[in-house]
Amino acid sequence: MNKQELVDAVAAQTGTSRALAAETLDALIGTITTAVIQGDTVQLIRFGSFSTGARAARVGRNPATGAEIQIAAAKTVKSTAGKAFKDAVNGA
């Protein structure tokens, strides 16, 4: 399912216009993104949570030449599925 299909599904389920569903989805994604950028954890009970993580600097290899390269430390985004979501996926 891509974003447009998600917008269509939300609009159909809520009985609203596609434009309103798209605007709401964009606002939701923007709000979650802003909160995670600021270092907050976003918890959506029964669905999951989003937070920041850290990846340490490390040595990697160039697959074409085999030469060692330094990979810089970076922030990452962690997402964890909630229990109800996991149970729904597993058919429990």
Cβ neighbours for 49, distance < 8 A, ≥ 6 positions apart: 41, 42, 43, 79, 80, 82
**pLDDT per position as a tens digit, 2-33:** 999 999 999 999 999 999 999 999 999 999 99
Residue 34 is predicted with a pLDDT of 97
pTM of the model: 0.79
Average pLDDT score over residue span 74-90: 95
At 89 the pLDDT is 95
Q: In one letter, which amino acid is 72?
A: A
Q: Which fold has domain 41-92?
A: HU Protein; Chain A (4.10.520)
The percent of residues in the chain predicted with pLDDT above 90, rounded, is: 98
End-to-end C-alpha distance for the chain, whole angstroms: 23
Task: Using pLDDT thresholds of 50, 70 and 90, give the confidence band for residue 77.
Answer: very high
Give me the mean pLDDT over the 64-85 stretch: 95
